[in-house]
Amino acid sequence: MIAVVDMPSVRGKLSPQAPLAPLVWFKSGGSADWLFEPKDVQDLSDFLANLDPATPVMPLGLGSNLIVRDGGWRGVVVRLGKAFSFARTQSDKTMLTCGGGTSGILVSSTARDAGIAGLEFLRSIPGTVGGFVRMNGGAYGRETKDVLIACTVVLRDGKVATLPAEALGYSYRHSMLPEGAIVVDATFAGTPGDPAAIQAEMDRIAAAREESQPLRSKTGGSTFKNPDGHKAWALIDAAGCRGLRIGDAQVSEKHCNFLLNLGAATSADIEALGDEVIARVKAHSGVTLEWEIQRVGNAV
């Protein structure tokens, strides 16, 4: 555990030995040595500038696409709170600037109210703007790279920088965002649209998700990346993994690319189930699945 004397002073909230399971969708995993919820961008910048450079730092959004291992996180977890949850139109009425802690639902609904089309797909991604930018989040045929203009980040040394989208080297579910950078805001561009038509598209997306995904379960969202020319769920289904269990961890019967915590699964159970799925798919089809869900921390 990091000693108390090693922590810089903050204006936000800094909590030692903070349980992370309540903050992630799987509801499993250990604690962080420290959980920091900055008051504003300057608070985050000052903290990182004065934090020992050897201390690991991890940003945490809604915790949807994440397995925190049972041994927890040896370092600082940064969680962006209300000060980083906003969506504002710019002078160019087709552009929207959003805080790094803003949910996709707030982004898309603000865009709707402003008559900005093209951001409806963000409604369906269970995460925050910071995660969208880092992972090139996408759904229903669109990705973050299609709408991002630029983002503001606080680098690991505390410096604040603005990065244009073209500097992020986007590919499928990947960016070249600098290691340790925390996204504090992002500007998206859409096109002029009718709010009623935008709402209709958001409703269509929401209904499609409701029909096909286990939305009310303890899950991490989409588990594996789609390999070139394949759908991950179809490969998993063909390998006989639908409903497969290890302890209370289960492959969803509704959507095979979702893993579930049925109640008392540990993070080790969930990760082991994912690894077993990878092995069975490889044996059946010769295709190697890659994790889309981020796995962090230490095993017990």
**Which residues carry out catalysis?**
173, 222, 292
Backbone angles phi, psi at 56, to 5 degrees: -65, 140
Query: Torsion angle, CA of 101/218/232/145, rounded to 10 degrees?
Result: -10
In eight-state DSSP terms, residue 225 is P
Pairing mode, strands 294-296 and 66-68: parallel
Backbone angles phi, psi at 268, to 5 degrees: -65, -40
- Edge to edge, the sheet with strand 182-189 lists 87-89, 95-99, 182-189, 148-154, 160-164
Instruction: Check if the beta carbon of residue 112 is closer than 8 Å to that of residue 198.
Output: yes
- Which residue, among 108, 184, 193, 111, has the nearest Cα to 153 in the 3D structure? 184
Query: Torsion angle, CA of 71/181/36/34, rounded to 10 degrees?
Result: 30
Output the DSSP codes for 10-72. -SSEEEEEEE-GGGSTT----EEEEEEE-SSHHHHHHHHHHS-TTS-EEEESSS-SEEE-TT-
Angle at 185 between CA 76 and CA 110, to 5 degrees: 125
